[in-house]
Structure 1
Amino acid sequence: MGETEGQGHDEDNNAVSDVADPALTRNGGPRNGGPVDTDMPPVALILGACPVRLWGMTPAERLRRALSRAGVAEVRSWPDAPVPGRRHLLVRDDHVFDAVLIADLARADNTVLTTGAGTPVAAIVDAPRVEEAAALLTRGGPLPAGLRAVGPATLSSAYNDALRKREAPYLLPLTEETRPEVERRMFAGSYKGVTDLVTKHVWPAPALRVTRWCATHGVTPNAVTWLSLVLVLLAMGAFWQGWFLTGLAMAWGMTFLDTVDGKLARVTLTSTKLGNVFDHGIDLIHPPFWYWAWIIGLGAAGMALEQPGLVLAVVAGGYVLQRVQEGLFIALFKLEIHIWRPFDSWFRLITARRNPNLILLTLGAVAGRPDLGMLAVAAWTVASLLMHTVQIVQALAARRRGPLVSWLAR
């Protein structure tokens, strides 16, 4: 998407250049008027009153949430008077900032954030320079001496460890015309880069529409997670009775909502530690119970396995062992097993986790052989365990040459 100018901004905005005063420090400078409290978070000043609602929120509300997550609790609207002795973070609300940009800028000093076209859209300065910075953001002009200009890629790393992907942070102009594309870009930015093939390739388009509907209608991520828990239980009950296709419809519905709740939390900046534990706790615990119910259901449907206890031990025990292997890899190498090399990330698409296993169960049920679907899950679980074992052995050998580094971070 091309860069556009905000209302009331001159073409001179492009005159901003990367000029820094190497003698300028946080504790003082030629125009600071005295020392600055370096232990205090900055005071935020929001410039503008953009009316375009994004994910059901005004831009100012989203900025307040991003600032709060960055530890900036004191948020005001320009032209409130600056607070002496404090740094001030000025942000235009007619642009949409990746949350990481706000967090990184809050830790910077005497810095102006510009778009790719050179338009200044945010700045962090000491109190005596607030009016000067506000004039630069609202009217443009040359970069004042003693400030440095940086773009998004310079301010923040392109590697997102939490989402396991390499992607430049977004900084997008917001108008009614650009809003749909901005929301699409924000939604794409909320996706993990390394995940299973269904989450990565099937769910994004419908999940975007449902996430937008939930945000617009005030549906919270936790409400979506509660609904997914209900589907977990209903799917288990259906599998137990041998109603495999009905149960699969509920199971796939749960996996879809599992995508929606996380994306909704990220795009609306409403995720909480409790919500995160709730969501991931459900994800971690329920798959073995589905496999157990499926094996019981095979007996109810007259298709009992010859050794149901052994198969259950393989699929449920193998699931637990896989998670142990993943935790062991992190403990040994301070790195997730799925992001070490390109192959490891590719294998995460199909490894024996819930969604790939559901594909095998679905194929078996549709073919009228749910028993073969479960046997396929057992075989694939063993194969995945062996593959993870090989990965750990290879990592132990590679560590002799130095610490392991994710290919996404290189």
Structure 2
Amino acid sequence: MNLHASSPAAPLGIVMGACPVRLWGMSGTERARRILLKTGVSEVADAVRGDAPCLLLRADWVVDPALLGLLRAEPPGVALTVRRADGCETVLAAHLSAADAAAVCADVSTLPPGVRAITCAAAAPIYLPALRKRLVPVVMPLTAETVSAAEKVTFGGAYKGVTDIVTKYLWPWPARQATRWCAERGITPNAVTLAGLLLTVCVPFLFAHGWFAAGLAAAWLMTFLDTVDGKLARCTLTYTPFGNVFDHAIDLISPPFWWWAWHVGCRAAGIAYPLPEAALAAVVGGYVVLRLQEGAFKRLFGMHIHVWRRFDSLFRLVVARRNPILLILSVSAILGAPGWGMAATAAWTVISVAVHATQMSQALIARRVRPIVSWMAE
């Protein structure tokens, strides 16, 4: 598919069929409707009307929203099909003229002449910059027997590919259970983010009073909710620009206050460690520098610094950001040496800044030879 092509006008969205089976707290019919709306249709109607192009989606199949985005980017005249057990092709989704859409709605097993079919068997992994991952699009029937499998694969598709070690390896299973629980009860992503915000405010208060165990418990719960809210938004197709800003603003602003409060708590408890003021400056100042480096890289090269090469993606697992630092501080608290945790955090932050500076320099040099492209997009 040509990812750079675009239709001149927003198509009309049409959900083909109906499906009462629930996935992430919504029926297959409602899920298809939300996908169409997120893909940029003018509205979702029950049938073809007028001569506007149409974006069609089956309700009784789990079709990855990324595939709908690709169909939407194509000129009308393309359909996504799958081969049934009886050997016949059936249409799962399509971007068609009004006349062709009416014909497909009447008979999903027959494509009008001139419509290009793309079979699911030929689907290749798609690079999604927003999630920093390669995604093999999900295409599977939605039935009572497949709900569990569909939940697993759609949740995996909503997860970022390049992230920290805790989010990548520790949170997936419990986050999927929490996401399902929230979705089935109609809890919104912004409500989860708000709960995370309340914990975010509690953490520095607890740290500053030297209550490190309680502060760490609140901090880890906040980071868990920070994983859940994004997955809940993507799985239930309820993400919004406000929700994105709300979530990321908390992530961006809170860490320096946490680390400052840890330093204050150490001083209040009379806990000594080498060069405490210098360590605080390195941790807080280094965090700001790391963020500025990441922003500069994205502005210069049009992508995150952690998706350029495989090494860069691996380094994201442990770079001196919130969760890896929490790991360091947690280990130091368990060992009864919270001051040394601050010192170790300072050292790792300085190392991370140096690694980022090296990555930036290497990218500037490499760009002289050829354009900088993510290894996942090559």
Deviation at 1:302, TM superposition (A): 2.0
2:57 to 86, 91, 96: 91
- 1:128 paired residue number: 99
- 2:345 paired residue number: 377
**Secondary structure of the structure 1 residue equivalent to 2:368:** helix
CA distance in 1, matches of 2:77, 2:33: 21
CA contact (8 A) 2:29 2:60 kept: no
- 1:358 paired residue number: 326
CA distance in 1, matches of 2:336, 2:255: 22
Name the aligned partner's letter for residue 125 of structure 1.
L
Return closer, same or farther for 1:391/1:153 CA change in 2, 3 Å cut-off.
farther
CA distance in 2, matches of 1:144, 1:44: 19
- 1:103 paired residue number: 69
- 2:28 paired residue number: 59
Query: Quick check: 351-360 or 64-73, which moved more?
Result: 64-73
1:317 to 285, 302, 311: 285
Query: Quick check: 325-334 or 302-311, which moved more?
Result: 302-311
- 1:113 paired residue number: 80
1:190 to 158, 169, 182: 158
CA distance in 2, matches of 1:119, 1:286: 50
- 1:202 paired residue number: 170
Deviations 1:336-393 (A, max 9, x none): 1101100000000001111011110000000000111111100100111111111111
Aligned Cα root-mean-square deviation (Å): 1.8
**Secondary structure of the structure 2 residue equivalent to 1:400:** coil
Runs of 5+ consecutive residues of structure 2 not aligned to the other structure = 1-5
Deviation at 1:315, TM superposition (A): 0.1
CA distance in 2, matches of 1:58, 1:392: 47
**Secondary structure of the structure 2 residue equivalent to 1:119:** strand
Query: Quick check: 201-210 or 177-186, which moved more?
Result: 177-186
CA contact (8 A) 1:104 1:156 kept: no
CA distance in 1, matches of 2:9, 2:123: 21
- 1:162 paired residue number: 130
Deviation at 1:116, TM superposition (A): 6.3
TM-score by length of 1: 0.86
User: How many residues matched?
Assistant: 368
- 1:22 paired residue number: none
Poorly superposed stretches of 4+, deviation over 4 Å: 152-157
Deviation at 1:100, TM superposition (A): 1.8
CA distance in 1, matches of 2:159, 2:83: 23
CA distance in 1, matches of 2:45, 2:209: 58
- Percent identity of equivalent pairs: 51
CA distance in 2, matches of 1:136, 1:112: 13
Runs of 5+ consecutive residues of structure 1 not aligned to the other structure = 1-25, 27-37
**Secondary structure of the structure 2 residue equivalent to 1:73:** coil
Name the aligned partner's letter for residue 90 of structure 2.
T
CA distance in 1, matches of 2:105, 2:71: 16
Name the aligned partner's letter for residue 88 of structure 1.
C
